[in-house]
Structure 1
């Protein structure tokens, strides 16, 4: 075992011990599914802010942001940071729901407007989203400790899975909120420490924050356009974010989304810029992690890896609590008991582990497919929720079908399985094809909703 691995193991063990220590066993379904504490109180402002940010600063996001910046410079960093505008758009939509409809969840709204079909489409999307979050973060944990498929890789995944599931089962959402605070403070401390250490390196200069010469930023600017198109719908298909929009009073919730947006964008951009710095000192390395390790050395690389592990764990416990709420409360698949919530958590973890067998490790592709699939919710947010207009059910279903088709088409086309989009548009780069697909999905969705508008 290398010193680097030993330090990472020790630090990870300390984080898991702290997570168990701050978790409290939920005594009621309201605490397990609704996040209230033992006295029945909703979380305060800063608990909500830190929880929202740490659940979105997950390991996949950190690595994807840095990799995009490594390959596409400042444009790549800005492209992924733009997804964090979701705090502002998601907060606006949730506040509008609470102000005008009094619904307790997006499920309530979709059920009231579009019936069973409305919630069924939504459940397919967010169920896949939750499973992919568990899968992606476990993948990151394994890669931090060892090579794909090795004993160390699977051992790390098995250990983190068991420990995270263990403390998540104790208290559900209430435990997740408490551990999120500790984990976010640890992450921020690590991020600040890494940047202080990087800035102190003699070979690093202020000029290294600029895009390296010879780097093609074009694909990064295309991804920025994609993010700006997806940012209306993206937050609505993430129950980890939206669940936190209904557990405190409106004023606290509204302020928490704004503060979380600022802190989240600053955090992800700061980590992404490590990719730009690493590109200046790549010394022939073709990937971000190799270049960064060569620049930082073992001790600082451990700190970066620890930040990835902390973010993975903090996201997974929140994902498990959202999976429990989805299955038991929103879908009503079982009675609202703590035991059933814990069973749902275990099944979600098992499903995420199952995803690892697929061997899909293209992290931005997973984000792009998920974001494209969510785009049927853009006209729902703009026309139905913010605009307050009634729309025919067929329009909703057509928008859903277009989004699913677009997501599936990009998943296949990005892997070279088809050339349909390329033949129709003349685009060769997969990100340009993604942009064309997103424009088409939005055009079909908004067109359907415009045609399906009902008289006031």
Structure 2
């Protein structure tokens, strides 16, 4: 069983997606601190999931969300839920790979495509050799690295403006200036965490008390990390920059900053994809139930599912989607999950 810090850091870094810190920077550039805090609100999903999973384990004795759904609503409900979270996992592949590609060329260019394929392929290669256990260890290392790189980036950005006050007072608290996104996130935190097996799988691998403490700590750490990274975009707003905030701001500081920004994006994206591949493998060979029978556990099957997910997850890039769509679309799609898990003790309808 992982201890408090390993589980906490794994939770945080597995949700500090490359797409998330990109979105945080872009929203900071568009709406100031209001945009950054709006996106950071999604990290209260940890609190929602932590409390509910703790109660499901302590009071219900459930060992996974799939066990709860199949036991209470039947195999059909579990299968539909599995389909929903499969879509979520596919979203993570293209959205995080797209961020990496954007640092090497424009969408659709040869450099962009090559970067996406190389990054996804390398991450898949080491994921095939590991699993959830190895993912937890690499998450710990990547979280520490992320923290160091974030401090270095802030060391560039904040002194360049001269003081902290302009950052925390930027933006306007109005519905058309990012406040609407703040309220959307407040609504979605009650359903959003339950369609992400990368998060929920980690709710069942340590003892309930340690798990709850880790989820609470991850809420605070994740919120602060995302809010701080939005400072990159806020600085871009001060300069009147356009485009991808993290990329454009990094260019203003030169090659050193570009390399650091690339590194933090690769660290975040690699951690997310590694965890995604581990979760989709577990979904296919442990959680999935067909006609009431648990699928045969198979290492080779899990690896093939990882490969199919990597290939299928890149297909949406052919249609040039917006990176933030991976969050808004899937978050809206699963709003109906909230009552299923929040009121988990209520009897199922006849």
Same fold (TM over 0.5): yes
Of 308, 328, 332, 1:368 maps to: 328
Map of 2:308 onto structure 1: 347
Map of 1:301 onto structure 2: 258
Map of 2:142 onto structure 1: 183
* 1:26-49 C-alpha deviation (Å, 9 max, x unpaired): xxxxxxxxxxxxxxxx21211111
How far apart, in 2, do the equivalents of 1:235 and 1:258 lie?
14
Matched, 1:266 2:224: yes
How far apart, in 2, do the equivalents of 1:198 and 1:219 lie?
23
Contact kept? 1:210, 1:276, Cα under 8 Å: no
- Structure-to-structure mapping, 1:227-306, within 5 angstroms: 227-282=185-240, 285=242, 287-289=244-246, 291-306=248-263
Matched, 1:98 2:60: no
How far apart, in 2, do the equivalents of 1:239 and 1:219 lie?
32
How far apart, in 2, do the equivalents of 1:117 and 1:110 lie?
9
- Unaligned 5+ segments in structure 1 are 1-41, 394-456
Contact kept? 1:134, 1:353, Cα under 8 Å: yes
Q: CA deviation at 1:215?
A: 9.8
How far apart, in 2, do the equivalents of 1:100 and 1:356 lie?
43
- Higher Rg: 1
- Unaligned 5+ segments in structure 2 are none
How far apart, in 1, do the equivalents of 2:258 and 2:247 lie?
10
- Structure-to-structure mapping, 1:13-28, within 5 angstroms: none
Contact kept? 2:13, 2:143, Cα under 8 Å: yes
Q: Which has the higher contact order (CA 8 A, sep 6+)?
A: 2
Contact kept? 1:76, 1:217, Cα under 8 Å: no
For the residue of structure 2 that corresponds to 1:363, the secondary structure is coil
- Structure-to-structure mapping, 1:18-97, within 5 angstroms: 42-97=1-56
C-alpha change, 1:290 and 1:300, in structure 2 (3 Å) is: closer
* 1:117-137 C-alpha deviation (Å, 9 max, x unpaired): 211221121010000001111
Q: CA deviation at 1:77?
A: 0.9
Q: CA deviation at 1:199?
A: 2.7
How far apart, in 1, do the equivalents of 2:72 and 2:231 lie?
43
For the residue of structure 2 that corresponds to 1:336, the secondary structure is coil
How far apart, in 2, do the equivalents of 1:285 and 1:170 lie?
41
Contact kept? 1:208, 1:280, Cα under 8 Å: no
How far apart, in 2, do the equivalents of 1:113 and 1:281 lie?
55
Contact kept? 1:328, 1:341, Cα under 8 Å: yes
Of 345, 356, 381, 2:341 maps to: 381
For the residue of structure 2 that corresponds to 1:245, the secondary structure is helix
* 1:166-200 C-alpha deviation (Å, 9 max, x unpaired): 11111211111111111111111100111112233
TM-score norm. by structure 2 comes to 0.93
For the residue of structure 2 that corresponds to 1:145, the secondary structure is coil
How far apart, in 2, do the equivalents of 1:127 and 1:214 lie?
37
Q: How many residues align?
A: 346
| RMSD of aligned residue pairs (Cα, Å) | 1.9
How far apart, in 2, do the equivalents of 1:286 and 1:155 lie?
21
Map of 2:91 onto structure 1: 132
For the residue of structure 1 that corresponds to 2:346, the secondary structure is coil
Q: CA deviation at 1:225?
A: 0.6
- Structure-to-structure mapping, 1:145-184, within 5 angstroms: 145-184=104-143
C-alpha change, 1:215 and 1:178, in structure 2 (3 Å) is: same
How far apart, in 2, do the equivalents of 1:101 and 1:247 lie?
16
Map of 1:107 onto structure 2: 66
* 1:355-398 C-alpha deviation (Å, 9 max, x unpaired): 222321x1223211111111111111222x2xx111316xxxxx
How far apart, in 1, do the equivalents of 2:286 and 2:228 lie?
37
For the residue of structure 1 that corresponds to 2:63, the secondary structure is coil
Map of 2:276 onto structure 1: 319
